Amino acid sequence: MNIKKKTLLEIEDFVLSEALDKKTKYGLKQEIKYCSNCLMSNQRPNMCAEHYHTADKQKDFIKFEDDICDACKLVKKKNQDIDWKKREFELIDLLDKYRSRNGSYDVLVPGSGGKDSFYVAHILKYKYKMNPMTCTFAPNKYTDWGRDNFYSWLDTGFSNYLFTTNPMVHSFITRLALENLLHPFQPWILGQKNFPTKFATKVKIPLIFYGENPAEYGNPNSNYYDDMLMEWHACENAEDIFVSGFHIKDLIKKFKLNNSELEPYVPLTYDNFKDNNLKCVAWSYFENWHPQRNYYYTVENSNFKPSPERTLGTYSKYSSIDDKIDDLHYYTSKIKFGIGRTHYDVAQEIRSGDITKEEGISLIKKFDGEYPSRFLNEILDYLSMKNEKNRFASFFEEPIIDKSYFDDLCDSFRSPNIWKKTNDGWSLRKSVDYI
């Protein structure tokens, strides 16, 4: 199999003025709308079972009702209908059911040592007197401050299992995900979802605590339970899944990968999941989730340091700062869905009451979709199959990926209902100003 260089073919689709008769990709909504409360766009895809993600899969998107998005509806429900004291009793009941009597590990907390996993592990141990084990699927490329924060997390009293994939294979799989899905973060997401559950079965710790439920960000409110959906972490049949959008059989046959090289990306089966009585739980079901509060808690209780510089593509310095590939990930989200990192941050902070809608609009206009130049050369180098001994180089028409290759690839993933081409370059057909 040979991966050919992609370029934008249908330029005229992007030039004409009307958006409503435009082709859409990925099942995007024809018309862009923004939530009248938090500014989130109706083009935001919901979290799904990543192991069934293919290049032509039509996605599910955040739902809107009366110009209000599902994430805002959840905030309203949480503020009006939920008795948080009662939820804490539910939490204590759950913990008591799994609590060890002899001090052995009784709960697994996956994470990188960022503010959210820090918060959950720390509070489980020091407030609720559990015995957490932590586990980590290593980032593609640690930032210096991300690595320091990871160790600062452990320094506050945690053991950790760090799983690091074979870098040669991981860079190849990541390159495939970039070419096929424009999703350079997908292989890491697969690993981060699948490693903790598989690890839990090995160390016999059935209770796994995550931070937030995806409903916090707009997945259907019907998913807002204490349990995370098993479908996100497990599959029907491990021989019928997709990695980087390619069927696992093709990865073995056409790209010559073997089972141990693919193992980090393959989920447990539903049967394994049930036989081991795994319970994947979201902390945000039990306590009103506030990312900025988690950050203050983390700083107060550890040597956690925010990034020394503003994160490219946004205004914040303390969220998702441990992997150098993050900048590319959010930039590609801007290309595919018209939503960059500032936009995600703004929507969450408006919902949490940290900033106003007017501040949000001005931040989006200033930073959203900023070009990911900071680590670009290093990441493109990582994704280039350039070493003569690299056995994957022959699968690419152009094994080396440079900035111009990356820009052309990005353009080939733009959807005509979102983007128009002007003399000044690309611009959104409808920006948040129109709200």
Residues within the interface to Zn ion (CB under 5 A): 35, 37-38, 40, 69, 72
Helices (H), ranges, 207-337: 230-233, 248-253, 259-262, 270-275, 291-301, 326-337
Closest approach of Zn ion to the CB of residue 35, in Å: 3
Closest approach of Zn ion to the CB of residue 72, in Å: 3
Of residues 41 and 197, the one with the C-beta less far from Zn ion: 41
Closest approach of Zn ion to the CB of residue 70, in Å: 8
Closest approach of Zn ion to the CB of residue 67, in Å: 9
Closest approach of Zn ion to the CB of residue 40, in Å: 5
Pairing of strands 234-235, 268-269: parallel
Residue 101 CB partners (closer than 8 Å, separation 6+): none
Closest approach of Zn ion to the CB of residue 224, in Å: 15
In whole angstroms, what is the distance from residue 159 CA to residue 394 CA? 41
- CB contact burial 130-143 (16+ within 10 A = b; e otherwise): bbbbbbbbbbbbbb
Closest approach of Zn ion to the CB of residue 281, in Å: 25
Of residues 113 and 218, the one with the C-beta less far from Zn ion: 218
Residue 371's nearest CA partner among 405, 348, 345, 341 is 341
Residue 349 CB partners (closer than 8 Å, separation 6+): 292, 355, 360
Of residues 220 and 399, the one with the C-beta less far from Zn ion: 220
State how far the alpha carbon of 162 is from the alpha carbons of 130, 140, 243, 421, in Å.
21, 13, 22, 45
Handedness of CA 197, 198, 200, 201 (dihedral sign): positive
Q: Is 434 exposed, middle or buried (0-12, 13-18, 19+ CB in 10 A)?
A: exposed
Residue 339's nearest CA partner among 28, 100, 16 is 28
One-letter amino acid at 168 equals M
In whole angstroms, what is the distance from residue 228 CA to residue 63 CA? 19
Of residues 72 and 138, the one with the C-beta less far from Zn ion: 72
Of residues 36 and 131, the one with the C-beta less far from Zn ion: 36
Of residues 38 and 380, the one with the C-beta less far from Zn ion: 38
Of residues 176 and 346, the one with the C-beta less far from Zn ion: 346
Cβ contact 267:234 at 8 Å: yes
Closest approach of Zn ion to the CB of residue 71, in Å: 5
Of residues 217 and 396, the one with the C-beta less far from Zn ion: 217
Closest approach of Zn ion to the CB of residue 216, in Å: 11
Of residues 245 and 360, the one with the C-beta less far from Zn ion: 360
Of residues 41 and 311, the one with the C-beta less far from Zn ion: 41
Residue indicated by tokens 């022959």: 394
Closest approach of Zn ion to the CB of residue 59, in Å: 18
Closest approach of Zn ion to the CB of residue 79, in Å: 14
Give SS3 for 210: strand
**Cβ neighbours of 362 (radius 10 Å):** 14
Tokens at 25, concatenated: 């990709």
Of residues 217 and 246, the one with the C-beta less far from Zn ion: 217
Cβ contact 184:383 at 8 Å: yes
Length of the chain: 435
Cβ contact 45:60 at 8 Å: yes
